[in-house]
Amino acid sequence: MIQAQVRTDANPFARSQSAFGRLCDLMQRPDAFPMTHTDLEQLLATDGRALLRQLFQDHLDLRGTHEQAAPHLSVVGDDGIDRPHRRDATRELHTLVGKVTVPRIGYSQRGHTSRFPMDAALNLARDPYSLGVRPIVALTVASSSFEESVAHLELTTKTHVAKRQVEKLARAAAVDFAAFYEQRDMPKAATESSLLVLTVDGKGIVVRQEDLRAATRKAAEERTAKLKTRLTKGEKKHAKRMATGTAVYSIEPHSRSAEDVISDLVHESTPEKRRRPKAEYKRVWASIEKDADPAIVELFDEAERRDPERRRRWVVLVDGNKDQLAFIQREANRRGVSVTVVLDFIHVLQYLWAASTAFHDETAAEREGWVLERMAEVLRGKAVGVAAGMRRSATLRDLDDTTRSPVDKCARYLLKYKRHLRYDEYLRDGLPIASGVIEGACRHLVKDRMDLSGAHWSLRGAEAVLQLRAIKASGDFAEYWTFREEQEYHRNHAERYQGDVTLPNRPNSPPKLRVVKGAFSSLSS
């Protein structure tokens, strides 16, 4: 390990220059010419990283020399206590180029914790992992298992971070999630005519039993398996806690007909078919800690920040959850905002497919025609007539209760939600009628990562990973990480001093934090 020391030689980077000279000599030796490009890459990845680490260490040693040679500082903590006593100290820092040692001076007073202004100057975290290692951990954890993240970090940076530490770093990486979205500038709609769409859905995540909601935990504790070696019909291996996914976006109205929608369903292409507008300024996120109601409040908060003057039409796309619908309407009323609640037509389609089994065999070609014909009528705003027609048909055929059960279930569904099935109006006004954005978001944010084989999540770990995936999916990672570094500086350093944190030869201002263009592009894409 490179040792920190006070530099007394005329050239503080002599060791770095010596290491660079040795590497240059190595690259031009005769035995380097037979090397394949793989051999050269490996050589440079190893010796080149050692050179960069030496440069890093030489710079830290130089700064330590300046701090020791500087006049005595007056260091007053946030507690108002002056700390006049100086002592030399060091700390390790695990960086992208290896482990270095930071020389620093501690300022102390008997009975009070020390302060280290050099830590503030470098914006060091409280643990030994650098703010360069942390975003890589955050991005890899958002995409891969903790074990894979450990391996990825070691392969790409030669930095070993234990699995337990990776989990802790992931939780820490997400701590500024709410504050970031509360303070950021809201995206503007392309036009005031664009729709503001809010949508919500749920997906279950396998969590540890102590993290289940009370009712689910009680049911899990009381449940006993009927067989020892396999599950029987209706049994579940693990209990899940529901995560609520939410999304908000802008989209231009797109007027179309029932025939257009059916054409899309059967993948027909016509010359006059217009290209559908794309969702813009999309933000998607999910929470397993919050229940559905507070998640919906947060969704409305985001929408209100985007359209505080209520100039746009708000559309809420839902899947028909009764309690969810009631809360959405209450929340809209509480805020005094008018919303158009649209029931996802794909859910209606699923009920029609189920009802079709009462009249046609599972694989009969006529079954699809029966479904599409009634779906077209529902899209024309005739859901009540469709419900009455299928019930009448079931009665005329004298179907028994079991056979006609899906017909009655579908009819009840259409009648129950008829006020949210005015698809003729929705299509005429150009509103979206399918919740593909939130369905895709829940699949991407929740299922694709949280359902990895054998995963049993802790509540805090699952929430952190969901937040990191949401930041990444919304395209906000680089901006978020800049904000996070600023927050780290204030939390770990600025708030621990009375007055400014100033070192000799250092401008009296917080660190200028920025994200190098493209720094996260390969990982966050």
Choice between 211 and 105, residue whose per-residue pLDDT is larger: 105
Task: State the residue range of the domain holding 287.
Answer: 189-227+236-256+276-344+434-473
pLDDT band at 426 (very low <50, low <70, confident <90, very high): very high
Judge if 299 and 199 occupy the same domain: yes
Rounded (10°) angle between helices 345-356 and 365-379 = 140
Judge if 479 and 469 occupy the same domain: no
Q: pLDDT tens, 118-153?
A: 999 999 999 999 999 999 999 999 888 889 999 988
Q: What's the pLDDT score for residue 443?
A: 78
CA dist 447 and 444 (Å) reads 6
Contact (CB, 8 A) for 346 and 434? yes
Judge if 240 and 113 occupy the same domain: no
**Of 409, 412, 418, which Cα lies nearest the Cα of 358?**
409
Q: What's the pLDDT score for residue 403?
A: 95
Judge if 117 and 162 occupy the same domain: yes
Tokens of 245: 């996914």
Q: Which residues pair with 93 in a beta bridge?
A: 100
Whether residue 67 lies inside any domain: the answer is yes
Q: pLDDT tens, 48-100?
A: 999 999 999 999 999 999 998 888 777 899 899 999 999 999 999 999 999 99
Contact (CB, 8 A) for 6 and 57? no
pLDDT band at 7 (very low <50, low <70, confident <90, very high): very low
**Sheet of strand 195-206, all strands in order from the earlier edge strand to the far edge:** 280-287, 240-251, 195-206, 314-318, 339-343
Choice between 222 and 132, residue whose per-residue pLDDT is larger: 132
Residue 235 has pLDDT above 70, yes or no: no
Q: What's the pLDDT score for residue 516?
A: 41
**Of 142, 166, 164, 143, which Cα lies nearest the Cα of 153?**
166
Tokens of 254: 């797109």
Q: What's the pLDDT score for residue 145?
A: 87
Judge if 38 and 153 occupy the same domain: yes
Whether residue 105 lies inside any domain: the answer is yes
Task: Return the CATH number at 335.
Answer: 3.30.420
> Which residues neighbour 123 within 8 Å (Cβ) at sequence distance 6 or greater?
131, 485, 488, 489, 492, 493, 511, 513
Name residue, tokens 């397993």. Answer: 288
Q: What's the pLDDT score for residue 380?
A: 96
Whether residue 480 lies inside any domain: the answer is yes
Judge if 141 and 218 occupy the same domain: no
Judge if 459 and 504 occupy the same domain: no
Residue 220 has pLDDT above 90, yes or no: no
Q: For the chain, what is the domain count?
A: 2
Tokens of 437: 């954005």
Residue 200 has pLDDT above 80, yes or no: yes
pLDDT band at 201 (very low <50, low <70, confident <90, very high): confident
Judge if 101 and 114 occupy the same domain: yes
Of all residues in the chain, what percent carry a pLDDT higher than 70? Answer: 86
Contact (CB, 8 A) for 317 and 352? no
Distances (CA, A) of 255 to 198, 419, 425, 431, 434: 19, 20, 10, 7, 14
Whether residue 421 lies inside any domain: the answer is no
Whether residue 379 lies inside any domain: the answer is no
Judge if 118 and 157 occupy the same domain: yes
Q: What's the pLDDT score for residue 481?
A: 95
Whether residue 374 lies inside any domain: the answer is no
List, as one string, the DSSP characters of 434-502: --HHHHHHHIIIIIHHHT-TT--B-HHHHHHHHHHHHHHHTT-HHHHHHHHHHHHHHHHTGGGBSS---
Q: pLDDT tens, 469-521?
A: 999 988 899 999 999 999 999 999 988 888 766 554 444 444 444 434 344 54
Judge if 496 and 456 occupy the same domain: no
Whether residue 207 lies inside any domain: the answer is yes
Judge if 340 and 193 occupy the same domain: yes
Whether residue 417 lies inside any domain: the answer is no
Contact (CB, 8 A) for 175 and 483? no
Q: pLDDT tens, 393-406?
A: 999 999 999 999 99
Judge if 163 and 282 occupy the same domain: no
CA distance between the termini of the chain: 35
Mean pLDDT for all residues in the chain: 86
